Amino acid sequence: MIFNFKLLEYSLSSLWRRKEKNIALIIVYALVIATLGSVLLLTHALKIEAVTTLTAAPEIVVQRTQGGRHELIPVTYAETIEGFPGVGKVIPRVWGYYYDSLVKANLTLIGIEGYQEQLELLEGHFPQSPDECVIGSGVAAAFGPQIGDLLVLEDSSKRRSEFRVTGVFHAASNLLTNDLVVLQEAALREFFAMPDGLATDLTVQVYNSREISTIAKKIAYFLPDSRPITREELLHTYDSLFNWRSGMMLAVFASALMAFLILAWDRATGISAEEKREIGILKALGWETSHVLGAKLREALLISLTAFIAGLLLAWLHVFVLGAPLLVPLLKGWSVLFPTFDLPRVVDLYQLTVLACVTILPYLACTLIPAWKAASSDPDDVMRG
């Protein structure tokens, strides 16, 4: 029966006869799948982005706190930490945030020292003088300058500083470099009026990953005003952040799922009198229950697979081509912090399988169960209604 093409022909003809209803059904179904798919694609892309970012992060970052606030850390702390067994390089980093009210985006300004090994240039060269800078692709897109152009920034006293762009970043993670402006350390200290001998934080290289937490405890013990943050803790923070975002997304996901279930329920309970009568006629003509179910299964598969593929394509376009404009309001805080950037175009097959199971299987069940109820009754009963 599987290869009975006449049953497939019947299914196609049946779908065509109710084309207005079926096209409307496919549109609604595809939109629900597009919503569900957008949520899954976006949250997965964000998680991948976060994981990629952390791969390049140092084992420990040491900050200094005073009165619960983050303060600049003395560079001399680096020498103390380097003295601990198992510790490799300790690099003072100089960086800060710069908010541009015109483009409504926060940029991260960093000194090249301490970062050069993590960053890879797409084009150009790293700054070789205090008036040169390298920018992330998001900065280039938001502010417009390309290699050779000037990037103009205002410091806290409204003094304009001009930097010649000498390179644009390429990094495994767009999130890592997208909002970066890299300057020479001296230029950055001048821009942020940061005194010599102090840094924003220290990065600590640990040879043996199993010793990271021990070394972090040692740092906290010997330098009581410091706050060591391990990569594990960063991962946990990112995970919480994206899980929280996912939680917001879950609301959208749940709403879309609810819409789908209503659609499916309507389908399950709403087999029309015309469809029932048709099933009764086919039974009276000698069709077996399995023939009717085979034909209805083909119809349901054609509708659900068409809607699934169309919905996924819409979701892919929405998230990866258009930048998820319908979901961005839920990520508003995040989008203000960073200029927009391209999400990694990664699709998780497991999630797609789950999405297919959540949307296709219930629809098939909701189509087949009422058809089975009608088809397993005596034709006389079905035709009498």
Binding site for other proteins (CB under 8 A): 1, 4, 6-7, 10, 13, 17, 277-278, 280-291, 376, 378-381, 383
- Closest distance of CB 285 from other proteins, Å: 4
Of the pair 168, 295, the CB lying nearest other proteins is at 295
How far is the C-alpha of 28 from the C-alpha of 87, rounded, in Å?
Answer: 59
Of the pair 151, 371, the CB lying nearest other proteins is at 371
The C-alpha angle with vertex 183 and arms to 177 and 184, in degrees rounded to 5, equals: 135
- Closest distance of CB 380 from other proteins, Å: 4
SS (H, E, C) 175-208: HHHCCEEEECHHHHHHHCCCCCCEECEEEEEECC
How far is the C-alpha of 351 from the C-alpha of 168, rounded, in Å?
Answer: 34
DSSP-assigned states of every residue in 123-156: EE----STTEEEE-HHHHHHH---TTSEEEEE-T
Of the pair 19, 160, the CB lying nearest other proteins is at 19
Of the pair 5, 350, the CB lying nearest other proteins is at 5
Helix and strand tally (H, E) in the chain? 13, 14
For residue 78, the surrounding DSSP H or E stretch is: helix 76-82
- Closest distance of CB 29 from other proteins, Å: 23
| Tokens 């409504």, located at residue | 104
Cα 299 to Cα 149, 173, 311, 376, distances in angstroms: 60, 44, 18, 18
Of the pair 248, 383, the CB lying nearest other proteins is at 383
The C-alpha angle with vertex 336 and arms to 342 and 246, in degrees rounded to 5, equals: 70
Of the pair 154, 274, the CB lying nearest other proteins is at 274
Of the pair 2, 349, the CB lying nearest other proteins is at 2
Of the pair 218, 277, the CB lying nearest other proteins is at 277
- Closest distance of CB 375 from other proteins, Å: 9
- Closest distance of CB 365 from other proteins, Å: 21
Report helix, strand or coil for 267. helix
For residue 89, the surrounding DSSP H or E stretch is: strand 87-93
Q: State whether the Cα torsion 136-145-104-40 is positive or negative.
A: negative
Q: Which pairing describes strands 60-66 and 69-71: parallel, antiparallel, or unpaired?
A: antiparallel
- Closest distance of CB 104 from other proteins, Å: 57
- Closest distance of CB 297 from other proteins, Å: 15
- Closest distance of CB 371 from other proteins, Å: 14
